[in-house]
Structure 1
């Protein structure tokens, strides 16, 4: 699918039908197309447009205008740390930023100068040498970052719209006329499945400010706020990560309140979903269905739906080819053009569109994809954030009070650490060290709790001869106290 196909679909809708909504503000399909058209001249000289902003119709309009103009769009998650923002803007040679947080951009000292306002966002620009990108790059999506410097994924417009078109086809018979954007639009999952796909089907998209939906940054997530918004705006669909679904389920169980009755489809993705959680959600009236995807594949790869559901991540969508090679899931699509800075990708010399996911899995007899864990040592929190434990461990080991550290938290809402104190240091010193280390990390990579443990040594089988901790042995040895850290949900420290 090409951008022209998307805009043709928008033009075919009744001009006075509502396309986007935030509070009392409405944008009809006619007004949406006019706003996109009006922005195009201002993007004429822009090579890379970054948007750092809360969810809003303005975010969606800027994204569509970049798509229509052929301008590369760099969505910036608001949870990125200053170092990650600096890295993303520098590595992409971004020349224009639209933001409702202009002070964060100015504070990076990258030469951006404010040049007026547009739709409530500040327009910042700078003169910077252009960067060579893979041919057909339409969007650069930086993941949460498995280390302090996230990797930029270069994606094609055709591949992204293939995803949207496949979702529209797979869910086309469901009575979805209004979608509520709950995840940040800067996340590719909401961008593709929550913006492009609903627009293709002519659905209204409601885009409240994220705080009004219960997002509280370091303080976690308030499901009561989400419940009230869903009751108020009555959407038929929304997208959640597992931890938000869990919070909502626990809220309904604790209060005895009924689930909103307007919903017919809740897509849950971004990380592994416990089957028990899906059963609990549906028993309460939340129609939750698990899916699976990756940034490199244009987001959604497979999903379950009413009438085609299983204890797995669903049937692959028709726009992707999925095969299993030596137990690992490989996926081919038109979306992935290469990683930022890869000379072969810039030269257009990639020999295949196939991507090795690092996930272990198999295709079942009914054509569904079943995952069996990861082949790489990468943590994925239940909020869908990718985190290399070595990155967080390095921040901890930079503290004099900490002699050894092993970080975990795969499929959990927050990270924990097993800490060995330096000689002469005790609990107070460790607590202060963790607090200092957390300040150097973005919210989602900070520790929610930790344990003071004995040293990891070759003698107890928890370290190699050269002193490197043996991760699996350590986590297995401390499995019981680790599990106890997560038992009290009320005192858990959740970082998004």
Structure 2
């Protein structure tokens, strides 16, 4: 983990915030303080959680757990209390870093450790028991919980080597850009920012700037102030950031061509969901250096990425140097893993997600659940989610992400979910980007998207959702992925009426 430190000059700023800057010595001092506090616990090797806003201390806690071999569980602030409790129970978490005593106590952590930091360290009552119910975490440094499509998040277990391997591959891919400043815009509890942001910045010898999420415009899990984000980019002269597609859309909407607030940027990575080609082209035409990538938690985030020297708009880029990808017979993207990922099934321990695979040779390949293809030059394309495929009454198989991407590319819609499984024609649930759009304007946007689709994939019917799909109402994951089954259940009556009237 510390190999990146060797090439960094002693006085160079490694981490910075709105109030302080840390060089190598300051970072190592903080790592030592955190490590000492963790090792003084009743059960010093038990897993520890962190539930807090972005901060330099958050990063130091992460690096300290790597140093002393303790498993860290980042808890996203946008999880519900029941989801937090599920993560705590399933991981065997015995302590938590948290700024709010009442939150820690409500989660079962009532004894405050003497650690002196901005975040407080609380231990649970169970550490006083002679028997601690804790899973065998082996070489697991981090358990990242994915919000997924069910109420109980799934824990993906990763080693230190798995995480830093991705960061080193990203450093190699981006080396020619000579990025000197990265700004954390996503929560550190999101693995993408954790690895592709912090670790990659450290591996590049860049300065990683970490400020409260409100300063970069992120409030909760679904409210984003693009103007605040652009002000932060200008203030800290960020050269690289990571965005979700809906955040990029907001910035494009609120910015101007060659916007002076964005002139410091060299590289804007966008991932976490399929990004409409039209949005990427619009962003580039405005001078925003945006590049789409692809990854998943089971592969420690990034698998493929477009870069200035290797780019094909519409693809998610070329596969990173530490990965090999193939396409299965049924079109599913599979990733070769030297170190197989594991899911944390329950407090009894770990379970490989590949245990049911029939042969050891096949066990090397991780099925991603994503449909895609590789072109002759090695660029990877996403065609949709395998489980989302719609089959019309005429027997046509359609990935809904295809027409959805075109609808979102119009700029009129914030969200779109295509429906029509078992129906003769497709429909769509729409969330408009602006309030008050007339039916005529909405229909014009749908018609424009249909012009790029064959007849069987065109949207023939649509209805407006009465609220956005978000983690707050349980209709989307933290990275914006739609929880399709729950959305269909919520809008079932309207959908039935939509098709009954056609």
Instruction: Please state which band the TM-score falls in when normalised by the shorter chain.
Output: 0.7 to 0.9
2:204 aligned to which of 201, 215, 218: 201
Query: CA 1:334/1:34 → structure 2, altered by over 3 Å: closer, same or farther?
Result: farther
User: Is residue 279 of structure 1 aligned with residue 278 of structure 2?
Assistant: no
Aligned to 1:370: 381
Q: Which residue of 2 aligns with 1:113?
A: 111
1:18 maps to 2:16: no
1:439, distance to aligned residue in structure 2 (A): 6.5
The 1:369/1:20 distance shift into structure 2, 3 A limit, reads same
CA-to-aligned-CA distance 1:16-60 (integer Å, 9 cap, x gap): 111111113111122112221232222221421111111110000
Relative distance call for 1:36 and 1:324 in structure 2 (3 A) is: same
Q: Residues 343 and 352 of structure 2 are in contact (CA less than 8 Å); yes or no, is this contact kept in structure 1?
A: no
Counterpart of 2:461 in structure 1 is none
> Kindly tell me: are residues 454 and 291 of structure 1, through their superposed partners in 2, closer, same or farther at Cα, counting changes over 3 Å?
closer
Partner of 2:164: 161
Corresponding residue for residue 335 of structure 2 = 331
Cα deviation, 1:51-101, whole Å, max 9, x if unaligned, reads 111111000000000011111110111111111101101111101100123
Deviation at 1:315, TM superposition (A): 0.2
Change (3 A) 1:249 1:344: same
Distance, in Å, in 2 between the alignment partners of 1:409 and 1:130 is 45
Residue 254 of structure 2: aligned partner:
251
Distance (Å, rounded) in 2 between the aligned partners of 1:240 and 1:150: 22
**Alignment TM-score, normalising by the size of structure 1:** 0.75
Residue 152 and residue 277 in structure 1: after superposition, are their counterparts in 2 closer, same or farther (change >3 A)? same
Q: Measure, in 1, the Cα distance between the counterparts of 2:352 and 2:88.
A: 22
Q: Cα offset for 1:440?
A: 7.8
Counterpart selection for 1:34 from 29, 34, 44: 29
In the alignment, what sits opposite 2:451?
Answer: none
Question: Which of 213, 216, 230 does residue 219 from structure 2 map onto?
Answer: 216
Shift of 1:408: 8.1
CA deviations 1:319-344 (Å, max 9, x no partner) are: 11211112100112345431112779
Distance 1:39 1:188 in 2: 21
Which residue of structure 2 aligns with residue 354 of structure 1?
A: 365
Deviations 1:354-398 (A, max 9, x none): 321111111110011111111113999999xxxxx9xxxxxxxxx
* Post-superposition offset of 1:173: 0.9
Correspondence for 1:137 among 140, 144, 161? 140
Contact 2:371 2:382 in 1 (8 A): yes
Give the Cα–Cα distance (whole angstroms) in 1 for the partners of residues 23 and 233 of structure 2: 21
SS in 2 for 1:376: helix
CA-to-aligned-CA distance 1:166-193 (integer Å, 9 cap, x gap) = 0001111112001000000110000001
1:53 counterpart residue number? 52
- The two structures have a TM-score, normalised by structure 2, of 0.74
Deviations 1:409-453 (A, max 9, x none): 799999xxxxxxxxxxxxxxx989x99x97788996798xx8695
Number of paired residues?
Answer: 416
The offset of 1:139, in angstroms, is 0.8
Equivalent residue, structure 2, for 1:225: 228
Distance in 2 (CA, whole Å) between partners of 1:166 and 1:440 is: 35
CA change 1:66–1:478 in 2 (3 A) is: farther
Unaligned runs of 5+ in 2: 390-399, 409-416, 418-426, 435-464
Q: In the alignment, is residue 316 of structure 1 matched against residue 319 of structure 2?
A: yes
1:242·1:271 contact (CA, 8 Å) conserved in 2?
Answer: yes
Deviations 1:164-219 (A, max 9, x none): 01000111111200100000011000000111111011110000100111112277
| CA pair 347-133 structure 1, distance change in 2 beyond 3 A | farther
CA root-mean-square deviation: 3.7
Do 2:327 and 2:373's aligned partners in 1 also have CA atoms closer than 8 Å? yes
* Structure-1 separation of matches of 2:352 and 2:285: 52
Unaligned runs of 5+ in 1: 384-388, 390-406, 415-429, 461-473, 481-496
